[in-house]
Amino acid sequence: MPHIEFGSLGYGAANLGNLYRELSDELAQEILETSWESGIRYFDTAPHYGLGLSERRLGAFLRTKPRDEYVLSTKVGRLIRPNPEGAGTLDLDADFAVPADQKRVWDFTADGIRRSLDESLERLGLDRVDVLFLHDPERNDLASGLNEAVPALAALRDEGLVSAVGVGSMSTEALLGSARTGAIDLLMVAGRYTLAEQPVVPEVLDACTENGVGIANASVFNSGLLATNEPGVDSRYEYGGVPADTLARVRAIAAVAREHGVELPAAALQYTLRDPLVRTVVVGSSKPAQLRENVERMRAPIPEAFWEQLLAEELVRR
């Protein structure tokens, strides 16, 4: 893949689209200023996030920064179109607290992919993005995504309109199929390569190695399960309850972390960066203090003996 300096930690801007609850423009600006001041230079967004609100807010911020000092990715696959029947309601079915007077329309055609990029650039107010991901192909039509949308993305890269292309997904099947196309540069892996579980091992990682595909790793806290030192039965996992076997394994990992004086969230952030395939870890935040804390955790020293013990006790997969 082309050489792109992402940095170890990137900011995932779903919260800027009012994920779960409304975020004021002032707080959104403060979060972005905090990320920049903390040294973050990779920002990821999508039309899906708040029906374009995330792109508009992120673009307004990045237009104040030198274009060659940051890396920006957005996504394609969903076009944003008028939805008059949604007037007066909120987009809560998709988990975003924004007016539902627009809607998402799946479009994996070459024309739809190009229009999606053009419309994202208009919302961002920028002339280019660096990386373009196909977003959640398994939620629409995975075969069409791999056979039609991925070649369309590759064509945009080959024309020089973007530097790199990839696929973002929570589905191991979609990630594996995407890596095996040989046409992409990156996978954005969401929640499938974490300290709690590694279903991408070995097939997806092997396919990445064979096809020169890097990984931008997202959702490394498994929706909250790994975001605390003491995971409990009320912890959030994949936006719901945590399975008993997963909780037992994470509690065992937490016990090893305590033994070595390691914070579990710090280990969760740093774990996959030990893999040379992983180019960056992407985290979201709805609070500046939370973002600062994750920056500090990413820099926290973790003894090699901690990782060795996790492997020896088969709490993570090699």
Contact in structure between 237 and 249 (CB atoms under 8 Å): no
Q: Is residue 49 annotated as a catalytic residue, yes or no?
A: yes
Give me the residue label for tokens 């969903």: 78
Answer for the pair 15, 80: CB distance below 8 angstroms, yes or no: no
Measured torsion, CA atoms of residues 23, 26, 27, 30, in degrees rounded to the nearest 10 = 150
Q: How many beta carbons lie within 10 A of that of residue 160, not counting itself? A: 8
Q: Which of 11, 42, 49, 70 is catalytic?
A: 49
CB atoms within 10 A of CB 93: 9
- Catalytic site positions: 49
